[in-house]
Structure 1
């Protein structure tokens, strides 16, 4: 392997180790210069770390070093002490993940009970869901979707890696009363759907009365 390639690999290695957040290929390319094949370099670096204590993993379209799965029990990240998610929050998160973009009314339809604003706020503060836009229906309700932080926290490369609904129901996370429309989502997409309008300035600070 050429000296240039090895230097590029060392640069990528240093950048990814130093970053607190996953990085995308375009961000990394800025440090390598035009002509560098970032995709191939990342795959080579991933291969080199495949059997080590840390692995290079992909989260949506970004990359990060994470503790190898079989050694996760040895290390703990320093985290602020927080209350565990309630069953309502876990169910809401699961429904958004599998049914996004979803409005609060659609979440309530699946769960069969009202969803308090505090539950949505908790997931927003955790960084696992985001306000995507507003549905083009009466009342223009806010639509919610998952974030890249959600993928990273749960060790998913893409939404298509989510467990099947049968497995999810078997874990007790969702009840068996699921509508036929609840399906495995398409791979992660940040773009709005045809039935959504973009958020307007200040929307994030408004009460969601949908």
Structure 2
């Protein structure tokens, strides 16, 4: 009677592949996906195992491998954040209107300008949306299948990267927002956050190539 042998642990990735992957991730201007790495690494490289090896190596260090915006990037260890304040120039601060608009786009995407104004209860200035488009955190997604064919807005991979999110589904929910102190007091009954989508939805058409997407 044969006895099943225990599964052998995966072999560590070859050092040259690990070093090349580290260099690719370090030099990339945006998080690299597994497909991006597979295209640049030797054929047959087990990319998930290689990434796991890098993550284990860097876990106790000051720089860690993080999964953000659907890819992988090196980031400073979260526990070192208090020591690094002031080490880099402060980014341009958004106005309250722009922050509110960004939050609505993030949590309600795809969303039109009219829908943003309905949620905020005030007119949304073109400047707020233009600023968010300039930062690269908001993009023109498509057009709603309603009269007038209004443009829809959504967030970008740069937004996910900046806020350390892998996907829009990782956005904090109501309970988390309350725990962070971002929502105070009692909310009206029935208030909920809509499940955002970063993929096409049934009532939305993508923008045509070269289309002038002015709202």
**Normalising by structure 1, what TM-score?**
0.84
Contact 2:151 2:213 in 1 (8 A): no
- Deviation of 1:33 after TM superposition, in Å, equals 2.6
TM-score by length of 2: 0.82
Q: Which has the larger radius of gyration?
A: 2
Verify: 1:16 aligned to 2:25, yes or no.
yes
Listed as ranges, the matches of 1:1-210 within 5 Å are: 5-75=14-84, 78-79=88-89, 82=92, 84-168=93-177, 170-172=181-183, 176=187, 180=191, 182-185=193-196, 189=198, 191-203=199-211, 205-208=212-215
Paired with 1:4 and 1:162, the residues of 2 have a C-alpha distance of 33
Measure, in 1, the Cα distance between the counterparts of 2:166 and 2:58.
Answer: 17
Pick closer, same or farther for the CA change 1:3–1:116 going to 2, 3 Å.
closer
Q: Give the CA deviation at 1:138.
A: 0.4
> 2:140 touches 2:213 (CA, 8 Å); kept in 1?
no
Question: What are structure 1's unaligned runs of at least 5 residues?
Answer: none
Give the Cα–Cα distance (whole angstroms) in 2 for the partners of residues 163 and 90 of structure 1: 16
How much does 1:177 deviate? 6.6
Deviation at 1:157, TM superposition (A): 2.1
